[in-house]
Structure 1
Amino acid sequence: MFTSRKRWFVMSVDQHSDPFEERLSSALHDTGNAFEADRSALTDGGRARGRRMRVRRRAAVLGGAAGIALVGVGGALLLPGGTGAGAGRTGGRRQPREPRSPPTPGALRRPFPVRNSSAR
């Protein structure tokens, strides 16, 4: 089983220091300490940016909801059995019909003679 341990390396006193690194560090500290920011301008800019982002987010949510609603309405109107007026509310299922064909002359006759029950 392998266990990982963090090892901290500390620079020993014996190592020499580089004058370039010391000057660079000093210059960076001086520049950072001399930097003055207009905090009210930064706050106002952040507030304006936040408002723009909120408006964009709301518009995206409303646009998505409108798109989904249009797809739902369009699907309800185009599906079989849907006329838009609520006719045929069978839950989207259409009852199968047998195909109609014109009656033939033999189909109008009864295949078997009907017995009169009183003639017995």
Structure 2
Amino acid sequence: MSLMETVELDAELIQYLPQSMRDMAEVIPLDAVVALIRHYGGTTLYLPTTVTETSDLAKAIGFPAACQLVGRYRTESLHIPRAVHLQRVLRDRAILKAHANGATRNELARAHGVSDRIISQVIASHRRKVPA
């Protein structure tokens, strides 16, 4: 289960993107930018001159977005940041959504590869932000 399946992406997430990825979100859809970060984050992506439906890039972000990306940045090398803050926000949203749907702290900890204390902190932090 990917984070994109469990959490809706919205324009508010743009604030958590590094500037280079904000610029990229003007070329390809936000969900494709997030998929690019999740797949290539922390590496340099060397773009081909053309893209096929079976290419790694097309499989990672979708063929239409891959075509748009290659059309704009053809043959360039792009540093794709890890965008840790964005990834944490997406993880926390997924945790909160699953918790609201009845998942236990232990289930969430195993699913997200974190401790149950982290899960408790995410839930408590959300409760402090949302007035009762």
Q: TM-score, normalised by structure 2?
A: 0.19
User: Larger relative CO (CA 8 A, sep 6+): 1 or 2?
Assistant: 2
Structure showing greater Rg: 1
Normalised by the length of structure 1, the TM-score is 0.20
Q: Which has the higher helix share?
A: 2
